[in-house]
Amino acid sequence: MVEVLVVGAGIAGLRLGSNLERKADGRVLIIEEDKYLGKCCAGLVGKEIYHSKLEENGVINKIKGSIVRSPSGSEVEIRSKKEVAYVISREEVLKSLSRGLDLSMGERLIGLDLRKKEAITSKERRIEFDVIVGASGGKCAVSRALGVMKNEKPILYCLQCEVESISLDKDLVEIYLNEKISPGFISYLVPTGAERARIGVCSNNPVSKNNLEKFLDEVVRKHHGSFQLKRIEGGFIRLKGPETTEGVNFLLVGEEGGQVKPTTGGGINYSLICSDIASQFIERFLDGGKLIGYHSAWKKVLGREIRFGLMVRRMMDFLGNREYELMVKILSEFSPSLDDFRFDSHLYSTMRTISNGRISGILRGFAFWLRDLLTG
């Protein structure tokens, strides 16, 4: 018997477990179906949210800006005088969060009975609980078992590799716009240090190894010359969650709860915020309160931002190379600064841009959406 069963050991699940560990007198169990912590992730997070929610564990590089490149090769550099984002090692951050927690790796949820408050796992265990939390990312283990995950799309598909011995500016993330390589989204290069980087292709369509190899051969080597290709990994991100993220004895957090930036697929910031909110409701529940109210609480904090992101996401699906060329041209003429904007709020950044009256609102919004990609 445990008081809290958390399904999923990503940022959301481990943050929640860490918050609850003392309150639940050690009776918090986290199960994770993968055998190792960490997954495919560009690993970019705004400096402000990282300092407010985490220690500087796992930071492997600090970013001052970005280069945005159009399909024809035109580019614009957007740079700040100071660091605006961190590149993290997801594995190191997860290891740090998992210290002292009761964590079972390689254990998958295969059955769930909320009435009996019982979960069945792949290790042939029947685990009784007071509260179960779905934090399994795109796998949606709990929400699927409950039948509340009905929004299968939109989905963002990603394939990423790590490279070494590459010539680059480690202060700048590189964003590549090309509908033939990454339709509906972007390709990117994220420096992880001197002569090291994560390079990825993301799209609203499934991404194959050929997509990544084409990007590496036709684009990256053109700008950076030769490099050593290391591991390749892939995954997908669900950009919209279920209609509800709460019940009498369950909560959903992180990607499983739809707490993801629709514009970029980034989930670290939202996972940290919502895990903290969820832990407060669970603490009250363990003291005799209710879980109902969690859904409206996190929506109050992030709802407008997510609705705005979904609107931009739908508009991005209709953009092609012609529009990308125009966007890079506008960026080069506008020369936006990174110094006066909130990098974990795309809505705030866009509204600040529109208010200056220099170029049309919709194009300014897209310009800063691109710039904000560097913070995931």
Say if residues 279 and 20 touch (Cβ distance below 8 Å): yes
Average pLDDT over residues 96-119: 94
Per-residue tokens: 313:
């996401």
pLDDT for res 55:
67
pLDDT for res 245:
96
Per-residue tokens: 348:
């705030």
pLDDT for res 364:
52
**What is the share, in percent, of the chain residues with pLDDT greater than 90?**
53
pLDDT for res 23:
67
**What is the share, in percent, of the chain residues with pLDDT greater than 70?**
85
Residue 37 has pLDDT above 50, yes or no: yes
Residue 131 banded pLDDT, cuts 50, 70, 90 = very high
Kindly write down the DSSP assignment for every residue of 59-112, as one continuous string.
Answer: EEEEE-EEEEE-TTS-EEEEE-SS--EEEE-HHHHHHHHHTTSEEEET--EEEE
Residue 102 has pLDDT above 80, yes or no: yes
Beta bridge partners of 7: 31, 134
Strands (E), 194-247: 196-203, 228-238
Per-residue tokens: 203:
């799209």
Residue 348 banded pLDDT, cuts 50, 70, 90 = very low
Q: For domain 2-35+106-153+239-313, give the CATH superfamily.
A: FAD/NAD(P)-binding domain (3.50.50.60)
Q: Tell me: the pLDDT tens digits for 4-17?
A: 999 999 999 999 99
Among candidate residues 50, 72, 98, the one with its CA nearest the CA of residue 343: 50
pLDDT for res 340:
53
Q: What are the extents of the domains in the chain? A: 2-35+106-153+239-313
Average pLDDT over residues 338-350: 51
Residue 344 banded pLDDT, cuts 50, 70, 90 = low
Residue 170 has pLDDT above 90, yes or no: yes
pLDDT for res 154:
75
Instruction: Share the mean pLDDT of the chain.
Output: 86
Residue 141 has pLDDT above 90, yes or no: yes
Average pLDDT over residues 107-121: 96
Residue 351 three-state SS: helix
Residue 116 has pLDDT above 90, yes or no: yes
Q: Which residue has the tokens 């590496």?
A: 216
Average pLDDT over residues 332-354: 55
pTM of the model: 0.87
Q: Which residue has the higher pLDDT, 341 or 256?
A: 256
